[in-house]
Amino acid sequence: MKLLRFGPHGQEKPGLLDATGTLRDLSGIVDDIAGNVLSDTFLAKLRDVDATTLPAVSGQPRIGPCVGRVGKFVCIGLNYADHAAESGLPVPAEPVVFNKWTSAICGPNDDIEIPRGSVKTDWEVELGVVIGKAAKYVDEANALDYVAGYCIVNDVSEREWQIERGGQWDKGKGFDTFGPLGPWLVTRDEVPDPQALDLWLEVDGHRYQNGNTRTMVFGVAQLVAYLSRCMSLQPGDVISTGTPPGVGLGIKPNPVYLKPGQTMRLGIAGLGEQLQRTVSAD
């Protein structure tokens, strides 16, 4: 299934994209794509619903972040060896873990705000993993059973705040609008191998990133198992799994960064596309 949320910011309704590409309203069945709705049991019930009996949504509503009430937005750094190389950093022996604040979450096509004074705002297309049931000390062999589904994340990053301002990476990762999620959550049954997905990103029509999740240093199952050892994971938590090479920071000899008035387009095979315009933060 492809589950999504649509409507004005803060007033999103749950929806489903049917086999014909028609957006269907799920609000008569669930209140949100969040929490226990993401369990295997509830997803199985949704799968049994005849989509043609659901109200079709007319027009072109705003698409919101594909999961609501996110408790944790956990990110993995340097998880592609060639991205670590372009960043001038060693391949990590264990996952590099940092956070995005949940206030960074926005819709997949919402404007991205360039922070005041920023000259080093960057892009990162990433595979997002949405947790479906509570996970604590899970084995890698069973880790994917705790995944509800997958989505696209643009891990927008302000490199000066991330690298040059002291402290940890979190400061450069959590500005408002720096966490677009969606357009939809594709349930686990439709992604038989999360380590075989092409992903890409363009800025103003120029392709900067081309990669495949098979080149991750730590795969999805490894990451879920690892994170469940240092925190409990709850339904709706999002894990952003790292980016392939081609970020602005890594362009030699002169890095390239975002400025207001540009357009980013990014996608992952089977998970859809995002389209964002950059604007100056108010």
Convert the pLDDT of each residue in 16-25 to its tens digit. 999 999 999 9
DSSP string, 124-160: -EEEEEEE-S-BSS--GGGGGGGEEEEEEEE--EEHI
The mean-pLDDT minimum among 30-39, 56-65, 163-172 falls in: 163-172
Strand-strand pairing, 23-25 and 13-17? antiparallel
Sequence-distant contacts of 82-88: CB under 8 A, at least 24 apart: 82/215, 82/244, 82/245, 83/242, 83/243, 83/244, 83/245, 83/247, 83/250, 84/217, 85/245, 86/245, 86/246, 86/247, 86/249, 86/250, 87/247, 87/249, 87/250
Q: Give the integer Cα–Cα distance in Å for 76 and 225.
A: 13
Output the pLDDT for position 278.
98
Output the pLDDT for position 126.
98
Which of 237, 271, 28, 12 is closest to 152 using CA atoms? 271
Q: For residue range 174-219, what is the model confidence (pLDDT) as tens digits?
A: 999 999 999 999 999 999 999 999 999 999 999 999 999 999 999 9
Q: For residue range 85-132, what is the model confidence (pLDDT) as tens digits?
A: 888 888 899 999 999 999 999 999 999 999 999 999 999 999 999 999
Residue 17 sits at φ, ψ, to 5 deg, of: -95, 115
CA distances from 230 to 130, 138, 221, 227 (A): 17, 11, 15, 5
106: helix, strand or coil: strand
Question: Is pLDDT of 282 > 90?
Answer: no
Output the pLDDT for position 100.
98
CB atoms within 10 A of CB 92: 17
Output the pLDDT for position 128.
98
Which of 45, 164, 65, 112 is closest to 279 using CA atoms? 112
What CATH architecture is 67-280?
Alpha-Beta Complex (3.90)
For tokens 């705040």, what's the residue? Answer: 161
Give the pLDDT band of residue 81 (cuts 50, 70, 90).
confident
40: helix, strand or coil: helix
Q: Is 275 exposed, middle or buried (0-12, 13-18, 19+ CB in 10 A)?
A: middle
Which residue type sits at 271?
Answer: L
Q: Give the integer Cα–Cα distance in Å for 149 and 74.
A: 15
The mean-pLDDT minimum among 112-121, 166-175, 223-232, 273-282 falls in: 166-175
How is the chain split into domains, by residue range?
Answer: 67-280
The H or E element spanning position 227 is helix 220-230
Question: Is pLDDT of 2 > 90?
Answer: yes
Give me the residues paired with residue 14 across strands.
5
Output the pLDDT for position 123.
98
Average pLDDT, the chain: 96
